[in-house]
Structure 1
């Protein structure tokens, strides 16, 4: 589907977001700004996003800040230290400020992701991983979703992978090559907003992998040639849904 009304609505939502009309000017990850050091921000964002959290995003990142500011737990955001840590100590540190909620699964994922970062990067951190592919999304996909998929059990999934690329672009100094390869990250709010705009039917609310893939593909087709990258509509759509769909203002 692609028509003038649809594109006008998309452009209006983008403008409403930039004008602050959708509320929620403070995004969940904004809580890290001014607290997490710039050279550590990529690692903090990556490890937390890789948990595949099914929870209130604002509470997750508040927990991340608490753990980062606590000298006893800040080490969990250093991939090299995490790889060599005792799993019981990692579990205790993750659960202390509720960064992790699942006592077995979350520590195991956290350590596995840290290992994936370390072995994919000479520097042993996310900046090194990005440098190794020269910030090329196509090459990054080959590592995260291909060569090292086993080390990135959730981050390799299309929803979280694309959101991760988007967040790193928005909060760190990375400038991606092949930026058009970042597809929209279809979480529940994106699914609802997509239906509201008439781009997909309510069937996609099942939220299965194929539903999310269909939504991402629909946005890619709808925005092809418009100059709008699919990921650029993520935050406006997310906030629009979260605000319970206020009227679109042209």
Structure 2
């Protein structure tokens, strides 16, 4: 593993390159979203939560393009009302979500969407109330979603998507979470490739270490630098997607 000083220096270079547009194409999948107003707090939170729970082994860009098309259809848009989705007949929900390919799996995806909608509706009523319940605190949010109500948040409670969703809900959902520095980086294929190139892990460790261990390695490296692990996700993700055209030296 390279020295911490060199690793942090390269991280800062990548952050700067991302912010200045030097990494190449860097439009996030979630940028494909409605132009929400400040008053649209509830539906915005739902919009960046329910589709995220279906974001498993699929093209993220196509998912959010599908979500936007569904949202722009006045009839289908109702599925982004969490109380409506919680009570809607499963067959109708299936028809709506599949019509724009928001859902690709006719049973599992519909069950996931409705289960989360029911969990929120039955326990807190709204997404806004839910975040008030956890005091807008990432650590409390993690406790609720990944432990106390884990079965009520299928897939969203998994470590990979939960951390990424927590990042997205801040970036696009219009809320600020306390203790957000504890959000872990999400070592998907792109992040893992970057981790090897930067020297955070070896090629052998890329296949032998768990995702949690890779996340832990990043946290140790960035400790005390002022850089939160999740802040590195976009620059690393686009660095890899753009085939590492940006050179560190």
- For the criterion TM > 0.5, the same-fold answer is yes
Structure 2 gaps of 5+ residues are none
Q: Which position in structure 2 is the counterpart of 1:85?
A: 88
| Aligned mates of 1:28, 1:38 — CA distance in 2 | 20
* RMSD across aligned positions (CA): 1.8
- Is 1:194 aligned to 2:199, yes or no? no
Of 19-28 and 195-204, deviating more is: 195-204
Shift of 1:173: 2.3
| Aligned mates of 2:205, 2:155 — CA distance in 1 | 20
- Is 1:24 aligned to 2:25, yes or no? yes
Q: Which position in structure 1 is the counterpart of 2:221?
A: 222
Secondary structure (helix, strand or coil) at the match of 1:4 reads helix
Listed as ranges, the matches of 1:97-112 within 5 Å are 97-112=100-115
Shift of 1:3: 2.2
Cα deviations across residues 153-183 of structure 1 (Å, max 9, x unaligned)? Answer: 2111111011011001111321111112111
TM-score (normalised: structure 1): 0.93
Q: Which position in structure 2 is the counterpart of 1:245?
A: 244
| Aligned mates of 1:59, 1:35 — CA distance in 2 | 20
Higher relative contact order (CA 8 A, sep 6+): 2
Shift of 1:204: 5.0
| Aligned mates of 1:114, 1:128 — CA distance in 2 | 13
| Aligned mates of 1:190, 1:204 — CA distance in 2 | 13
Shift of 1:230: 0.3
| Count of residues paired in the alignment | 246
TM-score (normalised: structure 2): 0.93
Listed as ranges, the matches of 1:1-250 within 5 Å are 1=1, 2-34=3-35, 38-39=40-41, 40-121=43-124, 124-203=125-204, 205-206=206-207, 211-249=210-248
